[in-house]
């Protein structure tokens, strides 16, 4: 599943001890396993091998150039949501003709940039956007390849903040209106109807909502193919990962656990969807982010203080919600392990950061072996929506990022120098 495991009581990423990385590069430190992320990409890619397909990595999950470059080398396309992400793909050597541009708020200049870069498609999220793309393409004397994003109104039964496929959400065009919008689009001179797209949500742990949404949209896709000769159907991203191994397989920790039962694996995903999709005879696009990179990254942190209040044991670490906001934002679970394995009783502990907010925690009442100042912990499954959601809150510099490949290590992003945080700020003349 991933390449983080204990070897002689020390937590390793592939062939490198994480303690050695924490000591050498400092903390907070993101560490990514190249083997894990490529393995996840290949597993998904090969599970779909029965169909013509393209796996477009969702850049929003992790946009480090090294991660993008590794995936580009493996043949991945990219799902992008801004000019910045497209520029990152280009900087990493990715193929723009494999980029799908999603997002409800594409600006005119973003559309123009993407048209000039020769992207694969715009995933159109509204009727005004369709008109705007046509207008911008007209000005540039180009034809814009598009897919309409269908909102299938299917509940993905995931966290409310990452559900996208119901009419409660701002995404896509309502299922019932889609045919009309295609009819309009087919009349626009600078638009080429290339496909149809949907995405119902993120961190789905069951195959059922995917199958339900695909089955619901299938008749529409068939008719669009017949009428407009579209070439592809993008079924979005959303494949979930295991954050809490105890929930996934009784109480067994992941390093003791054989294959967890009932999980959403690439094989189960493909087995459920291939029979539905293959007869369409269309190219199938996917936009996974978390599945590829989520379990390929950890955040290393140093214990600064251990503090007992009347009721609680607090472990205060040097990483904070500005480095990894998921627990504060989604109440999400991240497995927390010591880099050097400990023995003895586990104490229910709150693992918290130094930021002045009660929401700045990574875990509450989590059983943890006794730790003390200077020891290190790893927050697992931090490869997706970790660094990319980091901020400078409390004037804290952005963490460094390291990529491991076997026994090779490369710092793929330097720790931000603290002065950098206010580099673009200025004093007005009357205060200078
Ligand atoms: N395609 C579209 C249109 C999306 O909106 C998303 C994610 C993806 C693909 C990739 O989804 P994935 O395969 O990674 O689940 N920050 C949140 C997740 C936000 C997801 C936003 N959209 C988190 O930390 O859980």
Q: Give the range of the structural domain holding residue 317, as residue numbers without chain letter.
A: 295-422
CATH assignment of the domain containing 211: 3.20.20.10
Kindly give the number of the ligand 1 atom that is closest to the alpha carbon of 103: 3
276 CB within 6 A, ligand 1: no
238 CB within 6 A, ligand 1: yes
Among 265, 286, 307, where does a domain finish? 286
Specify if 64 maps to a domain: no
Kindly give the number of the ligand 1 atom that is closest to the alpha carbon of 325: 24
Kindly give the number of the ligand 1 atom that is closest to the alpha carbon of 202: 15
Verify that 124 and 202 share a domain, yes or no: yes
Specify if 41 maps to a domain: no
104 CB within 6 A, ligand 1: no
Mean pLDDT of the chain: 94
Distance between Cα 122 and ligand 1 center (Å): 17
Is 80 exceeded by the pLDDT of residue 169? no
Specify if 170 maps to a domain: yes
Say which range, 110-124, 242-256, 382-396, has the weakest mean pLDDT: 242-256
Verify that 369 and 280 share a domain, yes or no: no
Verify that 281 and 328 share a domain, yes or no: no
Among 247, 262, 286, where does a domain finish? 286
Contact of 272 with 210, CB cutoff 8 Å: yes
334 CB within 6 A, ligand 1: no
Tell me the pLDDT band of 49, cut-offs 50, 70 and 90: very high
Distance between Cα 298 and ligand 1 center (Å): 19
Verify that 264 and 315 share a domain, yes or no: no
399: left (phi over 0), alpha (psi -120 to 50) or beta: beta
Verify that 245 and 129 share a domain, yes or no: yes
Verify that 380 and 257 share a domain, yes or no: no
Nearest to 402 by CA among 253, 255, 289, 299: 299
pLDDT in the model for residue 154: 82
Average pLDDT over residues 139-143: 98
* Residue 356 known to be catalytic: yes
147 CB within 6 A, ligand 1: no
Q: Look up residue 209 and give its two tokens.
A: 């909502």
Average pLDDT over residues 270-291: 97
Verify that 267 and 391 share a domain, yes or no: no
Verify that 205 and 321 share a domain, yes or no: no
Strands 408-413, 376-379: pairing kind: unpaired
Specify if 1 maps to a domain: no
Specify if 24 maps to a domain: no
Q: Look up residue 257 and give its two tokens.
A: 């656990």
Long-range pairs for 404-408: beta carbons < 8 A, 24 or more residues apart: 404/13, 404/14, 404/15, 404/16, 404/21, 404/31, 404/32, 404/33, 404/34, 405/14, 405/34, 405/35, 406/14, 406/15, 406/35, 407/14, 407/15, 407/16
Specify if 65 maps to a domain: no
347 CB within 6 A, ligand 1: no
Verify that 408 and 305 share a domain, yes or no: yes
Residue 196 CA to residue 215 CA, distance in Å, equals: 14
Specify if 92 maps to a domain: no
Among 255, 286, 317, where does a domain finish? 286
Specify if 125 maps to a domain: yes
Average pLDDT over residues 383-401: 98
Which pTM does this prediction carry?
Answer: 0.95
Q: Encode pLDDT of 322-342 as tens digits.
A: 999 999 999 999 999 999 998
Task: Indicate which residue of 13, 56, 99, 356 is catalytic.
Answer: 356
Distance between Cα 105 and ligand 1 center (Å): 16
Verify that 269 and 330 share a domain, yes or no: no
203 CB within 6 A, ligand 1: yes
Output b/e per residue, 262-278; b: 16+ Cβ within 10 A. Answer: ebbbbeebbebbbeebe
Verify that 172 and 271 share a domain, yes or no: yes
CATH assignment of the domain containing 303: 2.40.37.10
Q: For the chain, what is the domain count? A: 2
Verify that 282 and 301 share a domain, yes or no: no
Name beta bridge partners: 404: 33, 409
Nearest CA to ligand 1 atom 7: 202
């Amino acid at each position: 599943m991933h390449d983080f495991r204990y070897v002689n009581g020390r937590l390793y990423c592939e062939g490198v001890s994480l303690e050695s990385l924490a000591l050498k590069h400092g903390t907070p430190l993101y560490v990514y396993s190249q083997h894990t992320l490529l393995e996840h990409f290949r597993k998904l890619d090969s599970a779909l091998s029965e169909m013509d397909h393209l796996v477009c990595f969702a850049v929003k999950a992790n946009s480090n150039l090294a991660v993008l470059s590794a995936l580009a080398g493996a043949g991945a396309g990219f799902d992008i949501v801004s000019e910045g992400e497209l520029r990152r793909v280009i900087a990493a050597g990715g193929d723009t003709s494999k980029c799908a541009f999603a997002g409800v708020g594409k600006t005119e200049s973003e559309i123009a940039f993407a048209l000039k870069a020769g992207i694969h498609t715009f995933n159109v999220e509204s009727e005004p956007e369709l008109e705007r793309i046509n207008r911008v393409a007209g000005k540039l004397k180009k034809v814009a390849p598009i897919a309409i994003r269908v909102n299938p109104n299917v509940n993905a039964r995931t966290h409310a903040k990452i559900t996208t496929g119901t009419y409660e959400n701002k995404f896509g065009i309502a299922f019932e209106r889609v045919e009309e919008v295609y009819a309009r689009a087919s009349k626009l001179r600078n638009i080429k109807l290339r496909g149809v797209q949907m995405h119902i949500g993120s961190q789905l742990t069951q195959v059922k909502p995917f199958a339900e949404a695909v089955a619901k949209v299938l008749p529409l896709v068939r008719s669009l193919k017949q009428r407009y000769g579209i070439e592809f159907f993008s079924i979005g991203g959303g494949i979930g990962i295991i954050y809490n191994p105890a929930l996934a397989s009784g109480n067994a920790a992941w390093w003791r656990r054989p294959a967890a039962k009932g999980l959403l694996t690439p094989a189960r995903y493909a087995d459920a969807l291939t029979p539905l999709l293959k007869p369409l005879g269309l190219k199938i696009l996917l936009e996974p982010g978390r599945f590829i990179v989520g379990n390929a990254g950890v955040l290393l942190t140093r214990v600064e203080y251990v503090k007992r209040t009347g009721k609680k044991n607090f472990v205060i670490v040097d990483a904070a919600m500005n480095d990894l906001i998921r627990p504060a934002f989604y109440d999400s679970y991240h497995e927390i392990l010591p880099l050097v394995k400990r023995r003895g009783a586990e104490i229910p502990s709150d693992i918290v950061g130094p930021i002045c907010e009660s929401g700045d925690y990574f875990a509450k009442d989590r059983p943890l072996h006794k730790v003390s100042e200077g020891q290190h912990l790893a927050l697992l499954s931090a490869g997706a929506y970790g660094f990319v959601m980091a901020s400078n809150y409390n004037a804290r510099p952005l963490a460094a990022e390291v990529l491991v490949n076997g026994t090779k290590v490369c710092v793929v992003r330097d720790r931000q120098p603290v002065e950098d945080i206010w580099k673009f700020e200025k004093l007005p003349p009357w205060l200078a």
